[in-house]
Every structure is written in structure tokens, then in C-alpha cells.
Amino acid sequence: MSAPSSRQKQANTLRVFRKIHRYTGAFLFMVFFFIAVSGLLLGWKKHTGDVLLAKTRTGSSANLAEWKPMAELRDRAVAFYRDSLNPEGPFSIDRIDVRPGKGVVKFTFETGFWGLQLDGATGEVLHVERRRSDIVEKLHDGSMVDTWFGIENGGFKLFYTSLSGVALLVFTITGFWLWYGPKRMRRQARK
């Protein structure tokens, strides 16, 4: 029995890559579907007319010297959240986004995906929003599963992003080879 030719080796390699590409794609179809759809939504979030992410409102003063102290603004945001949005609590703030040029402070709460925009100078609530973009982001990176099941340290997110990243790398390599391999084989056949 003779050793396989170079062309046969290349054809075998292509078959293996095709199988890897096909089975990985079939196995991870839903993962890639969620990543693609949520990625598109995140790319468009500022252009959805307040549906995914509210526009930043404008406060009465961009001069920080005229602003109320941050502790007072935080207390006003928590009081509004408790009285109007979530009386049972918890009342934990996830992040505070200060926009001095707009005269606004944004408060995002840990539960319920609620956000408030307060005028930095008066403390008046300028806008209340359900931060749907945060929901989409948590779906996109898999951290929503950690939230639902109380998984500490983002264990599922780490698994999900690693699996997605490795699969995308495998798709890139096998896809390139499926495109380039036949061209290479044709070129060598002409010689």
C-alpha cells in the first residue's frame, strides 16, 4: 500500500475541518444566535429612542460648585426608588454615573434594572428608566445566568465567554481553511 499523496492528505484535512466546523456550529447555534442578536441590540442601544437606553437628560447647571453634595443626591435617588419603584428593597446602588457637562447624575440600582437621572444642582428627578440595555448586556455575556442562580464570582459567565471565544476561534480557523484549502489544492493540481 502506497503512502497517501499530498493531495489526499489535504483532502483528508479538509474533511476533518469540515466535520469540526459543522458539529461545532450545530452544537453552539443557540449560543451564537444570542450573542449575535444581543450584540446588535447593544450596538444600537443609543439609537432606539429611549427603548433600550434613555438619552441623558440635561440638568440646570454644569457648574459643579452649584451641585448638591453627592451623598444628598444619593439619598434622594434611594428615597425615590424606595417610595416609587421598589418599596421592599434592597436599596443598593450598582453604579453612579456623573455627567458634569450635562448637569446630571445617573443612579443605577442593583435590583430591577432601574435607573434614575437627577439634576445635580437641584436634586430633581429628571428621568426614570428601566435599563433594558443592562438586561441585554447580561444576556450577551452570560452573567444573567449567574444572577438567576446566585452563582458567585461569575462562574457561568466565565464558562460561557470562554466557550464562545474558543468556538469562534475554531470557526475562524476551520472556516479559513475550508475557504483556502480548495484554492491551494487547485493551484497545486495545475502545477
Q: What is the pLDDT along the chain (191 residues), one digit of tens a residue?
A: 556 678 788 888 888 888 888 888 888 888 889 899 999 999 999 999 999 999 999 999 999 999 999 999 999 999 999 999 988 888 899 999 999 999 999 999 998 899 999 999 999 999 999 999 999 999 999 999 998 998 989 999 999 999 999 988 988 888 888 888 888 878 877 87
pTM: 0.76
Number of domains in the chain: 2
Four-point Cα dihedral 107, 110, 113, 115, nearest 10? -10
pLDDT of residue 84: 94
d(CA 101, CA 141): 31
pLDDT of residue 89: 80
79 and 117 together in one domain? yes
- CA quadruple 55, 60, 63, 68: dihedral sign: negative
Domain containing residue 180: 1-52+140-191
- Which of 130, 153, 180 corresponds to the end of one domain? 130
Query: Collapsing DSSP states into helix, strand and coil, what is residue 62?
Result: coil
pLDDT of residue 143: 93
46 and 9 together in one domain? yes
d(CA 76, CA 176): 56
User: Cell numbers 434614575 correspond to what residue?
Assistant: 116
Q: Is residue 76 part of a domain?
A: yes
58 and 125 together in one domain? yes
